[in-house]
Chains A and B, each alone.
Chain A
Amino acid sequence: EDKVVQSPLSLVVHEGDTVTLNCSYEVTNFRSLLWYKQEKKAPTFLFMLTSSGIEKKSGRLSSILDKKELFSILNITATQTGDSAVYLCAATPRDNYGQNFVFGPGTRLSVLP
């Protein structure tokens, strides 16, 4: 059965800290791994990773995929209170319709001032 595991499930840090969120996956015929940030409502798309070893970066956020070891990390440097959210990881196989997105349970990040 396809599954995605995230760790830690919950994390509390102070502003300015650097955090690393982990996502491991087991998905048949894997194609891509996606990261989302969910604050109070809808998840917002952060990154999609398809190739191993290529870092994607957006401001203080960066992510990388290791297809050999079947995991991805999301790094946030110099955290701010606005980074507080649940970070979701999803793996998707090669398919036509995207119906097989498998989401992890999320990591709840709390950044204290």
Chain B
Amino acid sequence: SQTIHQWPATLVQPVGSPLSLECTVEGTSNPNLYWYRQAAGRGLQLLFYSVGIGQISSEVPQNLSASRPQDRQFILSSKKLLLSDSGFYLCAWRGRLGYEQYFGPGTRLTVT
């Protein structure tokens, strides 16, 4: 069966510091991968999606970036965090044949 991992689970970072969040998927090949952000009390906002190694599409202009160095690894990064980057970051995957997206456990980021 497929599993999706994210780490760290929680993170507190000062403004201006860099960020690296990692997501890995097991038990599937060539998944579509997604990064979402969920601000408190709000819906999920799609940040990036990837259909393959090295292929990244950005949905929202911002100071975040994403990379997919391996088939089942998706990384969210920032060079300098802003206060507004605080939120709950979720990674999700979708198989080639299905339409459902399945979510990882999430990383709660607080920028101070």
A contact set with B: CB distance below 8 Å? 4, 31-32, 34, 36, 41-45, 48, 88, 90, 92, 96-99, 101, 103-106
Contact = CB atoms under 8 A, between A and B. Distances in A.
Interface string B70-112: 0000000000000000000010001000011111111000000
A44 B32 contact: no
Nearest to B88: A41
27 contacts: A4-B43, A31-B99, A32-B99, A34-B99, A34-B100, A36-B103, A42-B105, A42-B106, A45-B100, A45-B101, A45-B102, A48-B100, A88-B43, A90-B44, A92-B99, A96-B51, A97-B94, A98-B32, A98-B34, A98-B49, A99-B34, A99-B49, A99-B57, A99-B59, A101-B44, A101-B101, A104-B43
B101 A106 contact: no
B46 interface: yes
B44 A88 contact: yes
Contacts of A103: 43-44
Interface in B27-57: 32, 34, 41-44, 46, 49, 51, 57
A34 B103 CA distance: 13
Contact of A98 (B44, B94, B103): B94
A97 B104 contact: no
Q: Which 10 A-B pairs have the closest CB atoms?
A: A42-B103, A103-B44, A103-B43, A99-B49, A105-B43, A98-B94, A41-B105, A43-B103, A42-B105, A41-B106
A32 B51 CA distance: 20
Contacts of B103: 36, 42-44
